[in-house]
Amino acid sequence: MYEQTYKDYLSRIAELDFPFLADKLGIQLDGQTVIIPFFDKPYRISAKGITDPLNRQPHLSVSVILCKYLLMCPMIEPMGGNWRSYKDFKDAAPLIQAFYNTVTHPIAETFCGRPAELETASKKIGGRPPADQFSYDLAMQFNALPKVPVLLLFNDKDEEFPAQCSVLFEKRAEKFLDMECLAMVGMLFFEYLKSEIGIRRDCAAAGPSLPRRALVRRNPTKYFNCLIGRL
């Protein structure tokens, strides 16, 4: 299933106009290859394959995100700004609970009482203070992809409230990625933060009998956990 999905995406991107995409998305063109930074790590994408900074084939979740980013490139660049939570996107409804279970809640739980570690981990994956001011204990902005920023807002626990976390995207993010990919961006974001403080998670196997979309409908959290796998 992994190899077939990977090959299917490669065959689709082989038909794309890379110089056009490089101009529209603001990404680097190197011959028949485009170079896309994903959370500040450059990935090389061509019809022959996708490689990470160590010249290895990345996890399928990363490959799918990068390919969808190219395939969905809008003809006219949408305006930036207007932060919104995942649940506020039009087609996010089937995955809202999965996003909470695998992104915002785990970040709050993992970094509860550890805001300094969260800030350090954030900086290691390209995070920086946003231009706007937010009334949170920690606010950091990231470039998940060119023109697809991510905003992390975190309040640590106090005497009255538990730790709380919000992960926001610009409204135009839906023009660059579908909701499945945007959810995977969020989940990879948590995994990258967690790996910077030395924590990794083993995900249970999904089971080969369920097609991808059937598993998404039945148990979206399990589907994305398994797709992320061991990073």
- pTM attached to this predicted model: 0.86
Name the residue ranges covered by the structural domains of the chain.
2-71, 83-228
Count CA within 13 A, CB hemisphere, residue 172.
15
> How many residues appear in the chain?
231
**pLDDT averaged per 10 residues, the chain (length 231):** 85 96 96 97 97 95 96 93 95 96 97 97 97 95 98 96 97 97 97 86 36 48 52 38
Smallest Cα–Cα separation from 216: which of 103, 88, 106, 93? 93
DSSP code at position 93? G
What is the pLDDT at residue 80? 86
